[in-house]
Chain A
Amino acid sequence: MPYYRLKDLIKAIRACKTAADERAVIQKESAAIRTSFKEENNDARHSNVAKLLYIHMLGYPAHFGQIECLKLVASNRFADKRLGYLGIMLLLDENQEVLTLVTNSLKNDMNHSNMYIVGLALCTLGNISSPEMARDLCAEVEKLLGSSNVYIRKKAALCAMRIIRKVPELQENFLSKAKSLLSDRNHGVLLTATTLITEMCHRNPDTLVTFRKAVPLLVRHLKSLVSAGFSPEHDVTGVTDPFLQVKILRLMRILGKGDAEASEAMNDILAQVATNTESSKNVGNSILYETVLTIMEIQSESGLRVLAINILGKFLTNRDNNIRYVALTTLNKTVSIDTNAVQRHRNIILDCLRDGDISIRRRALELSFALINETNVRVLTRELLAFLEVADNEFKQGMTTKICLAADRFAPNKRWHIDTVLRVLKLAGNYVREEILSNFIRLIAQTKDLNAYTVQKLYAALKADISQESLTLASVWVIGEYGDILIKGGSFEEEELVKEVTEPDVVDLFESILAGPYANQVTREYVLTALMKLTSRFTSTPVIQRIQAILERYNTSIEVEIQQRAIEYTNLFKFDNIRPAVLERIPIPESKEETSRPTDDFSSGGGGGGGSLLDLDGDSIATDVKKVNASENSQNTVDILATIFGSGPSDTTDNLTPSRSNPKDDIMSLFNTGPTTTTSPNLIENTPSANPLDDLITTSLPSTNENLLGLSSIKQIAPSQNTQTVNPLDSLMDLGSTKLSTAISPPTETNAPEQFVAYNKNGFKIGLSPFKDQNNPNILNINVTFHNVGVGSDVQNLLFQAAVPKTQRLQMQPPSSTTIAPGAIVTQTIRVANPQRVNVRLKLRIVYDTSAGGKVDDIAEFSGFPQDFW
């Protein structure tokens, strides 16, 4: 049974105990309403639509009432018409077909003698007009803009605004009317006219010129509003038309922006509004706020700007949270325009960090970071560190990052820089981004003269607290790297207490971390590696034996990574002649170009020094894969490994090479296979921080930049995969250079072919391995390898052509295939007869299709063979 009146329906819905009950009531009622609509029950229509609007508000479907609304609009009863239009506004939007049926009713009603009916029509058109309606009814609205009735004029102005939003070219139709509306005496009309003109200026900058002429008029309006006494007709909560003032100020802002003359004309009145407006209530502050925005955006006098910033400063001390919030938001926007003026309010801003409202704390924090510069970095950082201690956890990671970046950029000296980051790690070591940590480690490695100081500090900090992950990681790494310096320094003072440090102490500490509740895989990896490094830094044999015992304990770790490491390290003890070299201190990494923006660093991949180390990794791993799988040629690999590990004396190479069937080789292959099983691209990007060993055995730090990293390192690994004898030593020497592929080592075995990269574009790479023909020194054989590194799909219909200068002759053999799957290699041999023994210059043409549908036709030149091959 349907409820008959809206009131009854509402009561029935209120009486529902559950959502299901409510749904049932509404479904039943909706069905009844539908039936009633079908029966064309004219008397019930009003009530039904009213109920539908209620149902609509509750979030139930009510679209079936759209047509009924149109019927109500056509009614002669005012109440029906009003409800009908309301229904249209609520149930329809401009995209609905039904809307076209409204146009005619609107047109009729806009010409109605009853001003309220005209008002309803304008309201409806202004709310839901589609472009078609806008065109159809533009003339009516234009006419109504000139109506003698205030009520109609003010609504028509906003209607016009909707029309030009929908059909911008209709703007001209309203231009002259809008101008005349600006001198209207009625405040309602002025308000809507200002809104309309603001919109026009916004949409079409050409109109700015027209309306700049109206600036004096606007100034007059504003002046009379500011100086007017109480008038019941314009009063809104005790202030004369605050909304009109706000609108005029906003229009002034648009008109004054970038125009000296208009700005000049506004200076006085802006100063007047800024000084005379009552600031004890929110209403007044809303006007002041708008004034500040206008002052900051137009070409105002500097005195006025100071006044504006001071208003915001005063806002900051206001007890109303909303006003403080608005002030901080605005200061955040203006801080880049006028930093010095904002600096004056630094202390209040810092006070806001302790505000009870998290929104305010967040804004204040943003602003504090924006204020840091060379001169105040010490003070502000101290404040921010104090805040970091008590900050909400959700702020911490952002804060640690920003504090460290600010320290990077403005640090007065290295010691302060190290102290600051150390403090950050102590306070919020569990909220530090990985790159911040590696930046810190790089900083330490670069600051050689403070190594002793830093290692002692970190040792003391770690001893005091092993719960802060980043602090643990940094300390463990640094102690591992500079353990000898730590021990050599002996006891040291920390906060007026003399601290003893001996080799067993350090191992105790490390053991406590391993056993502690905060250890995770990453910390274990770090600790094991650091312990291993300490075996070459420490001198006491019992301590070294203890370390060995600890490492052996992890030979059965269920974490594959840890187990692998432990086994590799314990095996390394069998090679005491190379162990120290393997565990050498890592070379001092070069600075990245943009330490201030770590995220950028990631995207720029191997651009800097850090990247090269990564390249090195990629190389060794990739080469290993190939070597181990493809050949028995293990000396070569050993050599490479030894050189990476040792990163130094090449005589280790000599030691190793002769022993072909020696167990060393096997162990070394073990080392090789190590990395190959985990060629995860997830290498630590900022490898300067870590020991080569560390990198070789890829760590799997949880990296937020995994994808980026992955990409960059894949790219770097790939090119080297067929570079058969790239010597990582060279790359190490060549830190910072990105041209890894051209870093070539002299071959360790005479017949090992060297490879040159002749072409590397779009993921397609061509390598040339030349070797002299054994029978004829005038002939150079070149093995060409085509490598689909990252084309992303199969390479098909490969056509490779080469040409040589006239003095030389060329012979080409067919390629092993004309299709290359991703990651695969195709080879082809060419012979160059070079009787005059001059430089071999090759012109190459590469044509191929990708299975994804692309076609590549490219030309390259190569003439980089060393003279030996001529």
Chain B
Amino acid sequence: MLRFFLFINKQGQTRFSRYYNVQLQPEERVLMEADISRKCLKRGDSQCSIFEFREYKLAFRRYASLFFVIGFDEEENHLAILELVHAYVEILNAYFDNVCELDIMFNIEKVHVILEEMVLNGRIVETNKNNVLAPVLEMDKTSK
């Protein structure tokens, strides 16, 4: 089961977070995110991007200045998680047309909505780019 999605920039600021069945007080959450960003920043290019963190496993990928981190349980397929990060970023990239940190910051609701199409309660629902984006675009139309 996936436990959380985090986007953290190089300064260690959280740009997006979504937790699944993780009950943390806001202060604890902030501390944990800071801890994770430190761990990710510390890892050099020669190091693998999967590691253990508290009771979770973390897998992250770095795109420009942003770290995309997924926390998950041991039983998940570690390599597939890395693929999921990538799929998510590709979809964001398609939606925002060359996504950047600011897009995510200022459109955080959209980032959430896209993730809701892909993951439900920590399980994958859909990973195909078109299948994810079609309903999101459709909904955008309805909202206007």
Find A195's partner among B78, B83, B124 (CB 8 Å cutoff).
B124
What separation, in Å, do the CA atoms of A174 and B48 have in the docked complex?
Answer: 41
Q: How far is the CA of A154 from the CA of B127 in the complex (A)?
A: 12
A154-B125, A325-B50, A326-B78 given; A116·B116 CB < 8 A? no
Is A322's CB under 8 angstroms from B116's CB? no
Q: Are A127 and B120 in contact (CB under 8 A)?
A: yes
Q: Are A86 and B126 in contact (CB under 8 A)?
A: no
- Determine if B48 and A285 form an interchain contact, defined as CB atoms under 8 angstroms apart: no
Q: Number of contacts between A and B (CB, 8 Å)?
A: 158
Interface with B: A57-65, A135-143, A507-515, A830-838, which one?
Answer: A57-65
State whether A282 and B20 are in contact (beta carbons under 8 Å apart), knowing that A116-B138, A359-B47 are contacts in the complex.
no
**Counting CB contacts under 8 A, is B94 at the interface?**
no
**CB-contact partner of A289 in B49, B79, B112, B143, under 8 A:** B79
Contacts of A54 in B (CB 8 A): 108
Residues of A close to B105: CB separation below 8 A: 10
- Report if B93 contacts A (CB, 8 A): no
Are the C-beta atoms of A188 and B125 separated by less than 8 Å? yes
Give the size category of B's interface with A. 35 or more
Supposing A57-B17, A82-B113 touch, asked if A285 and B121 sit within 8 A by C-beta, the answer is no
Residue B23, interface by CB 8 Å: yes
Question: With an 8 A cutoff between CB atoms, is A243 at the interface?
Answer: yes
Choose among A6, A79, A90, A359 the residue that contacts B48 (Cβ–Cβ < 8 A). A359
Do B121 and A158 touch across chains, with their CB atoms under 8 A apart?
Answer: yes
Interface string of A313-349 (1 = CB under 8 A from B): 0000000011111100100000000000000000000
Spot the interface stretch: A228-236, A562-570, A614-622, A815-823: A228-236
Q: Give bound CA distance, A250 to B14, whole Å.
A: 33
Given A58-B14, A290-B77, A161:B47 Cβ within 8 A: no
Bound together, the chains give a CA A155 to CA B138 distance in angstroms of 17
8 Å CB interface, B73-118 against A: 77-80, 82-84, 86-87, 90, 105-106, 108-109, 112-113, 116
Instruction: Let me know if B51 is at the binding interface, CB within 8 A.
Output: yes
Chain A neighbourhood of B87, CB < 8 A:
236-237
Give the CA-CA distance A50 to B20 in the complex, in Å. 20
Q: Mark each residue of chain A from 458 to 493: 1 if its CB lies under 8 Å from any CB of chain B, else 0.
A: 000000000000000000000000000000000000
Contact in complex: B125, A242 (CB < 8 Å)? no
CA distance A359 to B58 in the complex (A): 13
Q: B29 within 8 Å of A by Cβ?
A: yes
Question: In the assembled complex, which residues on chain B have CB atoms less than 8 Å from the CB atom of A61?
Answer: 26
Asked if A233 contacts B131 (CB within 8 A), the reply is: yes
- The reply on A283 being an interface residue by CB < 8 A is yes
- With A282-B82, A289-B79 already in contact, the answer to whether A232 and B130 are too (CB < 8 A) is yes
Complex Cα gap A342–B135 (Å): 48
- Interface secondary structure of A, over-half rule: helix
Q: Does A360 contact B (CB under 8 A)?
A: yes
Q: Is the CB of A53 within 8 A of B78?
A: no
Write out the residue numbers on chain A whose beta carbons fall within 8 Å of the beta carbon of B123: 158, 161, 192, 195
Within the assembled complex, what's the spacing in Å between the Cα atoms of A187 and B30?
37
Please give, as numbers and ranges, the residues of chain A lying within 8 Å of B27 by CB-CB distance: 59
Contact present for A7 and B48 (CB under 8 Å): no
Q: Which residues of B contact A321 (CB under 8 A)?
A: 46-49
Known: A86-B109, A86-B112, A188-B131. A59 touches B30 (CB 8 A): yes
Closest to B15 in A: A57
Whether A78 contacts B139 in the complex (CB less than 8 A), given A10-B105, A286-B79, A357-B46, comes out as yes
CB pair A358 B124 closer than 8 Å: no
Q: Are A243 and B109 in contact (CB under 8 A)?
A: no
In contact, A60 and B127 (Cβ under 8 angstroms): no
Q: How far is the CB of A361 from chain B (nearest CB, A)?
A: 11
Are B120 and A151 in touch, CB under 8 angstroms? no
Contact B79 A243 (CB under 8 A): no
A162 touches B47 (CB 8 A): no
Residues of B within 8 A of A241 (CB): 127-128
If A246-B80, A324-B48 touch, whether A93 touches B142 (CB-CB below 8 Å) is no
| Cβ–Cβ contact B109 & A234, under 8 A | no
Contact indicator B46/A126 (Cβ below 8 Å) = no
Asked if A290 meets B109 with Cβ closer than 8 Å, knowing A126-B120, A159-B120, A321-B47, the reply is: no
> Chain B residues near A78 (CB, 8 Å)?
139, 142-143
Shortest distance from the beta carbon of B106 to any chain A beta carbon, whole Å: 6
Q: Is B56 an interface residue (CB 8 A)?
A: no
Residues of B within 8 A of A161 (CB): 121, 123
Contact at B46–A282, with CB atoms within 8 Å? no
- Beta-carbon contact of A155 and B26 below 8 Å: no
With A86-B109, A127-B120, A356-B47 already in contact, the answer to whether A57 and B126 are too (CB < 8 A) is no
Task: Tell me whether A82 and B143 are in contact (CB under 8 A).
Answer: yes
Taking CB atoms, residues of chain A closer than 8 Å to B16 are 57
**CB of B94, distance to nearest CB on chain A (Å):** 13
- Complex contacts, B125 vs chain A, CB 8 Å: 154-155, 158, 188, 191-192
* In the complex, residue of chain A having the shortest beta-carbon distance to the beta carbon of B48: A321
For the complex, give the distance between the alpha carbons of A114 and B138 in Å.
12
Q: Is A123 positioned at the interface, with any CB of B under 8 Å from its CB?
A: yes
Q: Across the interface, do A79 and B131 meet the contact criterion of CB distance under 8 Å? A: no
Shortest B37–chain A CB gap in Å is: 13
Residues A322 and B131 in contact, CB atoms below 8 Å apart: no
Does A83 sit within 8 A of B, measured CB to CB?
yes
Instruction: Using known A-B contacts A126-B120, A188-B131, determine if residue A10 contacts B48 with beta carbons closer than 8 Å.
Output: no
Q: Are the CB atoms of A116 and B120 closer together than 8 Å? A: no
Q: Decide if A609 is an interface residue (CB 8 Å cutoff).
A: no
Closest to B33 in A: A59
Residue of B nearest to A124 (CB): B116
Q: Please tell me if the beta carbons of B48 and A242 are within 8 angstroms of each other in the complex.
A: no
Q: Would you give the shortest CB distance from A762 to chain B, in whole angstroms?
A: 39
Specify which of A155, A232, A243, A289 is in contact with B84 (CB 8 Å cutoff): A243
Residues of B within 8 A of A188 (CB): 125-126, 128, 131
**Chain A: minimal CB distance from B16 (Å):** 7
Q: Are B135 and A116 in contact (CB under 8 A)?
A: yes
Further pairs besides A116-B139, A191-B124, A286-B77: 18, Cβ < 8 Å? A53-B109, A59-B14, A78-B139, A82-B139, A116-B135, A127-B121, A162-B121, A191-B125, A192-B125, A195-B123, A235-B128, A237-B86, A242-B80, A243-B84, A323-B79, A329-B78, A356-B46, A360-B48
16 contacts between A and B (CB under 8 A): A56-B26, A57-B108, A78-B139, A78-B143, A116-B139, A154-B125, A237-B87, A321-B46, A321-B47, A322-B50, A322-B59, A322-B78, A329-B78, A356-B47, A359-B47, A360-B48
Please name the 3 residue pairs, one residue from A and one from B, whose CB atoms are nearest each other, closest first: A286-B79, A59-B30, A321-B48
